[in-house]
Amino acid sequence: MTADAVAVAERLPQWVGHPRGLRTLFFTEMWERFSYYGMRALLILFMVDQIEGGLAFSDQTATAIYGLYTAAVYLVALPGGWVADRLWGGQRAVWVGGILIMCGHFVLAIPSGTSFFAGLLLVIAGTGLLKPNISAIVGELYVPGDPRRDAGFSLYYMGINLGAVLGATACGWLAEGNWRIDLGLFVIESNWHLGFGAAGVGMLLGLLQFRVWRGDLGRAGGAPGNAASARTHATARGVAVVLLALVAALFFSGLSGVVTFDAPRIAQWTTATIVIGTVLYFSYVFAAGRLTPDERNRTILIVVLVFACAMFWAGFEQAGSSLNLFAERYTIREFGGFEIPASWFQNLNPAFIILLAPLYSILWLKLARRHLDPSAPAKFALGLIILGVGFAIMIGAATLVASGQQVLPTWLIFTYLLHTMGELALSPVGLSAITKLAPRRFTGQMMGMWFMGTALGNVIAGLIAGQFDANALNDMPGLYLQIVLTSVGAGVLLLLFVKPLKRLSGGA
């Protein structure tokens, strides 16, 4: 795109120096993340609660369900992107996705556990439509060559983490704040379903502002990129009917009390299915993809990064499961007569991202100017090692807990700080690396495999969390040690092969 086109784009209505449509997407994503992370902070605590109206699941079952849920959110991004590309366009996909998310949270807000799985399924389906497509629309706001693009995505990323902080704070307080308001005719007090309802209200606010400011998006995401046939539309309608029928079946079977399944076994089968599917896909690409030698080398590197990604998220996603339970059960949370809700510890990661992300950007730029910028494999290795060091801190905390003590919040604070540092070294780098390394005709599919690796890590995270038994506290330090050895070991192994892996990239 010419400089004239960029200049014209910059003269259009602006919001803090960016296309005004960024305002619409910033607040839509902020409220969607408010709802997602607000509910996520409560999810595992609600499932294991046996006293205050929770589902009274065992830790193993609850953590397996948590892992399946967080994995599904990434898996459905693939069909969600297809729906926008072939059927609806990005704007409509975001709108419908937001409605499904809102309905899912309101279903979870029903003061009964019978509709729990239907609510989760609605949130999963809605997130699959909204999450991948809203990011794509951000990119469409800028013409090629617009120097504001990277800064625009950085601003958008800040909205994501701001929403996460606000969501965990508000929903956590409403669910666990131990407050009570007597209005005479009735009493309002903190409870799980009030927290879930707040997540739904957050998504409602996001939908309202999206509708009011939708015109600022112009043509960005307004129409599907590829025309779909009538047969494709008919197939899509059929899939939608099946999904709605599944939601109804889950809801009414829950009412009758017949929803029973072995969540850990399902998680194990899901893990095996994702691994086999990933291996088969890459085998097909190598065998029938007609790759050039350079493309083959880069695809080998992608395979390494995808599985390293899975290992990282398998440890990192303990945040919402085993570490969330650690905060609730074994951490001193009462200070000056105020009890900190356990869910508030989920604020630490997004808060640290807001503080550290600009510093990381400055660091990588300075290193690049001196030709010292680490390669993607080196940054992945660094992320895995820092993750492991974070869990090394938890070995000390777990040792104290095993001796019968409760621990100060500082143990978790420093653990989350290190985990965030590891995330910033790996996650943004991975997205960029895949787009650079993927053969042009396989770019979309390779991005799909990146999300597949993330999903795999989330399922494994749930299975790992299930090994933490509240009745076997003496085993806890050893379990954290296993995570340390696995994470650090994988990071060191990557470091040993950094040079040959860097050569595979061909300078990309």
pLDDT per residue over 304-328, tens digit each?
A: 999 999 999 999 999 999 999 999 9
Domain-terminating residue out of 261, 296, 327: 261
Among the three residues 261, 291, 306, which one is the final residue of a domain in this structure? 261
Both 163 and 279 in one domain: the answer is: no
Within a domain: residue 248? yes
On whether both 334 and 378 belong to a single domain, the answer is: yes
How far apart are the C-alpha atoms of 156 and 193, rounded to whole Å?
Answer: 30
Joined together, the tokens standing for residue 508 give: 């990309």
Distances (CA, A) of 243 to 114, 118, 214, 267, 386: 18, 10, 28, 21, 41
Tell whether 64 is covered by a domain.
yes
Question: What is the residue range of 384's domain?
Answer: 263-508
Gap between the Cα atoms of 88 and 94, Å rounded = 10
* Dist CA 98 CA 241 (whole Å): 19
Instruction: Measure the CA–CA gap between 251 and 206, rounded to whole angstroms.
Output: 26
DSSP 134-187: HHHHHHHTS-TT-TTHHHHHHHHHHHHHHHHHHHHHHHHHHHHS--EEE-SS-E
Whether residue 355 lies inside any domain: the answer is yes
**Segment holding 484, helix H or strand E:** helix 476-496
In-domain check, residue 478: yes
Pairwise CA distance, residues 404 & 130, whole Å: 45
pLDDT at 444: 72
Answer yes or no: is pLDDT of 238 > 80.
no
* Token pair of 203 as six digits: 């998504």
Q: What sign for the dihedral angle of Cα 455, 315, 501, 437?
A: positive
Is 206 found in the same domain as 318? no
Sign of CA dihedral 390, 392, 398, 403: negative
Q: Please report the beta strands in 229-347, taking only residues with DSSP state E, as ranges in sequence order.
A: 334-335, 338-339
- pLDDT for 111-158, tens place per residue? 876 789 889 999 999 999 998 889 889 888 887 777 777 778 888 888
Q: Domain count for the chain, please give it.
A: 2
Report residue 151 as tokens. Answer: 């800064």
Tokens of residue 20, six digits: 């005004």
- On whether both 183 and 274 belong to a single domain, the answer is no
Confidence at residue 198, expressed as pLDDT on a 0 to 100 scale: 97
Q: How far is CA 451 from CA 74, 157, 295, 300, 310, in A?
A: 6, 18, 20, 17, 9
Which amino acid is present at 506?
Answer: G
In a domain, 98, yes or no: yes
pLDDT category of residue 343 using cuts at 50, 70 and 90: very high
pLDDT band for 246, please (50, 70, 90 cuts): low
Residue where one domain finishes, among candidates 243, 261, 279: 261
Q: What is the mean pLDDT of the chain?
A: 88
Residues 249 and 308 reside in one and the same domain = no
Strands 18-19, 334-335: pairing is unpaired
**Is the domain of 153 the same as that of 256?**
yes
In Å, the largest CA–CA distance within the chain is 76
Model pLDDT for residues 436-484, shown as the tens digit of each residue: 888 888 877 888 888 889 999 999 999 999 999 998 999 999 999 999 9
Query: Both 167 and 196 in a single domain?
Result: yes
Q: Is residue 3 part of a domain?
A: no
Pair (40, 182) in one structural domain: yes
What is the model's pTM? 0.90
Report if residue 316 sits inside a domain: yes
Q: What's the pLDDT at 1?
A: 46
In a domain, 360, yes or no: yes
If asked whether residues 313 and 388 sit together in one domain, one would say yes
CA 66, 70, 72 angle in degrees (round to 5)?
115
Are 323 and 223 found together in one domain? no
Pair (209, 282) in one structural domain:
no
Q: Are residues 271 and 175 in the same domain?
A: no
**CATH code (residue 488):** 1.20.1250.20
- Asked if 43 and 211 touch (Cβ cutoff 8 Å), the reply is no
Q: How many helices (H) and strands (E) does the chain have?
A: 18, 6
